[in-house]
Structure 1
């Protein structure tokens, strides 16, 4: 067990930036208006389970298909890089299909525990201790739950400008993390 508060904070901030639950408030509010009540508890729990399962079996899955962690981490750094560009520039590079309901599927997956989160988890696993990642996942899921529960209040409190500033700030942080992740793992490709 390598419990490290600094690692927990670092991983927690990375996951918070990738999950981007605050930046997703407009989407959540829109889904709530279109489809009614969102089950915050179920969405948060399902997203947490998806992330934890992928954290533990993701590497084994990669071995089955013949991909090493360094290759996945470098690929993940590109995904994070483009996610960061979306956040900073306010553009949309990846377009997902519109959700047909506000059930667990569009909120828990792919909104919270989507491809970017999965890639990030395996990339983080190559640099940080698993226990610290698990704690960070749990802390982020708690934040996700409270944000889902009070998304309408947060939207009114921050306004569109406030949400935009938060999204761009976390985009810059995510961009720096993507560069660091690339630099740390690209050497492993040539060993």
Structure 2
């Protein structure tokens, strides 16, 4: 079995997932959940979310084939979702959000906050362009970062403040917007 590790692919996939997961932007939600339910199991949330992402990376395409959708169509659709997520981040608007949940750790932190629809769409879109092993490394890097943020969410909020979190969110929104355009351009030709 040959591995095709590529630092540029790993870096790009890591940035895409980091921007889509938007764990720093979710710090206020995480803090709100901590106040509601008390303790959040950071380890459990991180492990379950990474397991969901890796599983979807492998079986997501088969699920699509089962319902008759090719990866390129999904990647183009995913580019639209990533585009709208980026608009939310840049403009500070909310196009869609689920109601705030009453429990924590697995639901809603692992799913759908970390491994939500945007993340799963991004994974399959990345799969259309990059080697699986590079995406898995990107998932693991993001899982470590998610764990660290979950563990120290109170400290992060104090250090960055509301304005700092907003700036980070907008910067990653612009990066995400550029990635959505690239993803669309790379896959739309395959549809025709």
Report the TM-score range of the alignment, normalised by the length of the smaller protein: over 0.9
Give how far 1:104 is off.
1.1
Deviation, structure 1 residue 5: 0.9
Which residue is 2:76 aligned to? 74
8 Å CA contact 2:25–2:169 kept in 1: the answer is yes
Between Structure 1 and Structure 2, how many residues are aligned? 190
| Matches for 1:34-183 after TM superposition, within 5 Å | 34-183=36-185
1:24-35 correspondence runs (5 A): 24-35=26-37
Query: Separation in 1 of the partners of 2:100 and 2:107?
Result: 11
Ranges in structure 2 where 5+ consecutive residues have no aligned partner = none
- Tell me the TM-score normalized by structure 1: 0.98
TM-score of the pair, normalised by structure 2: 0.98
Tell me, in whole angstroms, the C-alpha distance in 2 between the residues paired with 1:137 and 1:103: 18
| 1:142-191 Cα deviation digits (max 9, x unpaired) | 0000000000000000000000000000000000000000000001111x
Runs of 4+ with deviation above 6 angstroms: none
Deviations 1:98-144 (A, max 9, x none): 20112311000000000000000000000001000000100100000
Deviations for 1:64-97, whole angstroms, at most 9, x for unmatched residues? 0000001000000000000000000000001202
Greater shift in the superposed pair: 90-99 or 153-162: 90-99
Work out the CA distance in 1 between the residues paired with 2:72 and 2:4.
22
Structure 1: gaps (5+ residues): none
